[in-house]
Amino acid sequence: SRAAMVLGRHCGNLTALLSAHQSIGVPQPLVVFGTDAQKEKFLPRCAKGEISAFALTEPEVGSDPAKMMTTARLSEDGSEYIINGLKLWCTNGVKAGVIVVMAKMPDSTPGRPKISAFIVEMDTPGVEVTHRCHFMGLKALYNGVVKFTDARVPKENLILEEGRGLKVALTTLNTGRITLPAACVGLAKQCLEWSTTWAKNRIQWGQAIGKHDAIAQKLAKMAGETFAIEAMVLYTSALVDRDKKNDIRIEAAFAKMWGTERGWDIVNETMQIRGGRGYETAPSLEARGEEGIPVERMLRDSRINTIFEGSSEIMRLMIAREALDPHLKLGGPVLNTTLPMKVRAKAALKSGLTYAWWYPSLWIPAFTAGTSKVDPAFRSDLRKMRNLSKKLARKLFHAMLRHGPKLDKKQVLLGRFVDIGAELFAQTSSIALASHRLSVGKAEDADPLRETVSYFCRLSRCKAEVLLREVGRNADGAGYQLSRKLIGE
């Protein structure tokens, strides 16, 4: 993560190359799931500079692996797997020497493919890069289409075991998801530096533009959110550092979703603050005697971050389902009319006993007990955050009662709940990191740090309160009906 933070200040292309290689390419899956023989064979090659890649996406497969068409079947003598298919947007695929490929097994059932992960060397006969992809940004990205035609892969190159490929993919994608917001930290810090320098030196209407409220508010928001992204990344990374097999799905998804969206906001605001000089290319600025600050390149290169490694929409759905799952397991049978009445009655009794104490507890105000390690300046913020989390739980519970099993289809509504959760996570991480730094840092840095984090927590609470109000008052229904007409339904 720290390497990505450094690279994010300078070059999105190099950041993407490192991220695809180190976090979702060959090294990470082998460190976590590889056999000793696989590690011995491939990790030294990666350590010496050989580039690796990850091949999952296909022309018809984005976030839905059930549509995967690439297949792998065992050869008649049982010594090799024979892979056929086409993989799209394989980052590093154009340059890689070895890649991880996801493929469907022959004994897959409809709608529930049995997917396996394989280590494939790019010089294997039948493996071919058919096209190098080019994009709006990241002009130096080594991204391409990889075709497999009866490519024979040794049986020992299977990672984990047959049918466990999605476990490999999801585990390694978690690490990749941390790398993206980590890069956004570097990008945000660079943008904040450019923006504050310009806001201080650019004079309009008799004073620096940074003293005008419209620009001043942008700078404050950028500073607060930059610190929060860094806090979320460092916290989530620490969980992995403690144990490579830690389940960080939720933390990584929150950091990826919130961090990349705020990173985009920050670079977009930098463009707005720099104005025409933000839109003009760095070579053009230099050619006419000004400093060549590449804001427009940063903007183009960073736009993909909310799409890479799972789009923001997919992250929201994933987090929402994780949040709902315990409740659905507990109360779902009660609403399932296909189950016998005896089973439903038993489930109703169990859920009733659980919610009889859980729901009333959500109305009890939170206090600041057990916060001895939190800096005193943030204890009020922490208390407000706890009350907000209780309000979020109540609202989600009410939505479950109102919509029942159909809540899963209310994606925008669920997205609001997730966004509130993300704000809470951002506040928690910020307070934790700030409290740690205040306990070990220099006294002269204390007041600016406290001011930044306190401001961010207040800003974040305001946003969460707006989202809570929108849970009950919104235009979702009308919007969905209009969209159906737009697509001709």
Exposed, middle or buried: residue 173 (CB in 10 Å: 0-12, 13-18, 19+)?
buried
What ranges in 202-311 are assigned the alpha helix state H? 213-242, 249-274, 276-279, 282-287, 295-302
* CB 199, CB 215: distance < 8 Å: yes
DSSP β-ladder status, 127-132 and 203-204: unpaired
Contacts of 25 (CB under 8 A, 6+ apart): 46, 51, 52, 53, 54, 92, 96, 99, 100
Q: Which residue has the tokens 């209009």?
A: 482
Contacts of 387 (CB under 8 A, 6+ apart): 365, 366
* CB 440, CB 466: distance < 8 Å: no
C-alpha 197/C-alpha 13 separation (Å) is 26
290 is catalytic: no
What string of DSSP letters covers 146-182? EEEEEEEEEGGGEESSTT-HHHHHHHHHHHHHHHHHH
Which contacts of 66-71 are long-range, i.e. CB under 8 A and separated by 24 or more positions?
66/111, 66/112, 66/113, 68/102, 68/103, 68/104, 68/113, 68/115, 69/104, 70/101, 70/102, 70/103, 70/104, 70/148, 71/103, 71/104, 71/105, 71/106
Tokens describing residue 312: 């923001």
Supply φ then ψ for residue 130, to 5 degrees: -95, -15
| Listed residue (292, 223, 233) closest to 259, CA to CA | 233
What single DSSP character describes residue 303? G
Which of these is catalytic: 269, 280, 309, 423?
309
C-alpha 28/C-alpha 18 separation (Å) is 12
Residues annotated as catalytic are 309
